A and B are shown apart, each in its own frame.
Chain A
Amino acid sequence: MLKIDNLHAQVDGKDILKGLSLEVKAGEVHAIMGPNGSGKSTLGHVLAGRPGYTASAGTVSFMGQDVLQLETEERAHLGIFLAFQYPVEIPGVSNMEFLKASVDAMREHRSLEPLDTVSFMKQAREASKAVDLDPAFLKRGVNEGFSGGEKKRNELMQMMLLEPTLGILDETDSGLDIDALQVVANGVNAMRSPERSFILVTHYQRLLDYIEPDFVHVLSDGRIVKSGDKSLALELEEKGYGWIEDEVA
């Protein structure tokens, strides 16, 4: 599904990813862990096509397409979804308008008719219920005045409505209390399927108690330096990142 080979990327001219390789097959859940500044968030942004994040070498192929050549919205149409660590607030554009425009854009790409307003509202209300977000939030400006936890739930709700092939969660767990964490985990687990994959970018092992990954990778200085199964996450929790960096050195 996703194949990243020797990816080098720069942010504002500074090298952040320095030869990252990763393969994600359909249905797999990969956790990417690593210390601050190792390039975890950069990976998500490069995959989603954020301006200013430029790949200088390497390839990224998703569903057989060269992702790096695609516009941001084309990547979304192809099924890549990034749940932002810091979702932006958009006053004046209601969450409902925004979600409907997104869902319609995706459906258009799949040659489906746009949803009628009633069916869409029904779906949106169900999704908001599933992430434990008051439907009143649908009428508010996108993320406007939402708390940190509400923004994360809103990201999850979007993911549910857009049904991506690959969901990348960028530190979705940070700043969440246990209840909210559980809501996020339940949402992701409910969406897991043989056709859908996830990349969970996280600092802490805590999220992985709720969403069991197939693989755990440690990112350090722009590269994956160690991969393993979920037990690697527990080891990291116990020993920190220092021992891996020592091992690599």
Chain B
Amino acid sequence: MADFIQTLLAASNTQVPAFLRQRQDSGARQWTASHMPTRKTEAWKYTSLHALNRDFCAAERSGASVDQLGLALPDFGGSRLVFVDGFLREDLSQLDLPAGAELVRFADASSSQAERIAAQLGSVVNNEQHMFANLNDATLADGVFLDIAANTVLETPVHLLWLTSNREPAFTVNQRLLVVLGNNAQATVIEHFTGNANAAFTNGITELVLADGAHLLHHRLHLEEAGAMHIGGVHASLGRDSTLDSFHLALGSELKRIDVVINHHGAGAHCDLNGIYLLRGSEHVDYHSCIEHTVPHCTTDEVFRGIIGDQASAVFNGRIHIHPDAQKTRAELSNKNLLTSTSAEINTKPELEIYADDVACAHGATVAQLDEGMLHYLRTRGVNRDEAEVMLSYGFINELVEGVKLESLQDFLRPMLAQRFSRDPRLTRHLA
């Protein structure tokens, strides 16, 4: 196994809450016994882990100010926890929770909370299929636990921000989130990764547990740029008649691999899964989604769209698996890609595996370039070619941005995305 982890393992088993120790031990054992995936490993065929071949040290606590960190700290209202290089920054965090809602670090958990964390942590993610979850377990010293009691409605969003700062030498951050919604509970969560680290490797796992009738509006923003590396994922378990509405956005960076795994465990569950990935330069993003329909009457609507420019490369692998008992399933998956350069690359594979006979499923993927007819039409109206290209590119993902239900998040994303499409404000004026 890669050398970098040895340093981490040595550094990590200090000051671990007792209820995590067993998990840490087993994670370390599994990780040490496993082999790093190669390009011959099917799930990693198009994503090289070469960038991880360097010496990483454990992250250190930073006291840098928001300005020094170059952090645009959006205010979505509600509660916010800010982690810089994996360490909680209480000065940038705030809590605003009604009775029945608890938000706590693993390290600060009361014995009742520790009991609940221990009961659910690792219950959704399948370490055998996701070997980096072993690494996460092995280096697990802290995490965030959001627990919403049955029938509790959390009106304001919970914003969890992880920033990796630009420091030398290369370092790693462990991110772990456990969200548990009781029966008929409702909440809005924003997972937000950011930073312009030269070399930071984040290994993250988020588990979402929705009990019967629960409703979670979930957002996961991977806005880390430059040399940031992130291997992580979201693993969700949906109870009877629960709804998960999940929005994903990834800007490219040196290496990103994000797994989104949704398990329909209770009949009548519904999942809306939307995602955008935007790459340029020599960036790489790999989204793997896997939707497991194990019970009847569940629905999935999944749409991912990507724009890949320059020499960037992206991967989208979307799997929908309908088990024999999952009759009356309705599942749709669409992946569309826009290549804005002849050297850009996308490897897309929608997979539908069906073992039930009474289901309605559809899946498809497209790869296209900017439409010359549309460009010409815009230019005949006086819009210059550069601006027309920005309009059409943004238009390609606009529908998904507009689909973001949390308005304050839409307001945050719009100018940020506009700037991503062009640094020249004249080319994005139509988005203002």
Q: Give the interface of A toward B (CB within 8 A).
A: 48-51, 71-73, 75-77, 81-82, 84, 87-88, 90-93, 97-98, 100-102, 104-106, 109, 114, 141-142, 158, 162
Contacts and interface: CB of A to CB of B under 8 A. Distances in A.
B377 A101 contact: no
Contacts, number: 88
Interface string B401-432: 00000000000000000000000000001110
B384 A105 contact: yes
A71 B394 CA distance: 23
A12 B395 CA distance: 30
Contact of B384 (A73, A82, A88, A91): A73
From DSSP, what is the main secondary structure of chain B's interface residues?
A: helix
A72 B379 contact: yes
Contact of A71 (B379, B391, B397): B379
A76 B397 contact: no
Given A76-B382, A88-B374, A93-B398, 10 more contacts: A49-B380, A98-B381, A100-B430, A101-B378, A101-B430, A102-B381, A104-B430, A105-B382, A114-B429, A158-B381
13 contacts: A72-B379, A76-B381, A90-B378, A91-B395, A93-B395, A93-B430, A98-B391, A98-B430, A101-B378, A101-B381, A105-B381, A105-B384, A106-B382
B74 interface: no
B430 A97 contact: yes
A51 B430 contact: no
Kindly name the residue among B373, B380, B399 whose own CB sees the greatest number of chain A CB atoms within 10 A: B380
Interface in B354-403: 371-374, 376-385, 387, 391-392, 394-399
B399 A91 contact: yes
A76 B382 CA distance: 5
In the A-B complex, list the 5 residue pairs whose CB atoms are closest, starting with the nearest. A92-B395, A93-B395, A102-B381, A105-B382, A76-B382
A88 B375 CA distance: 10
Contacts of A114: 429
B396 to A, nearest CB: 6
Contact of B383 (A73, A75, A141): A73
B387 A101 contact: yes
B431 A50 contact: no
Given A88-B374, A100-B430, A114-B429, A76 B394 contact: no
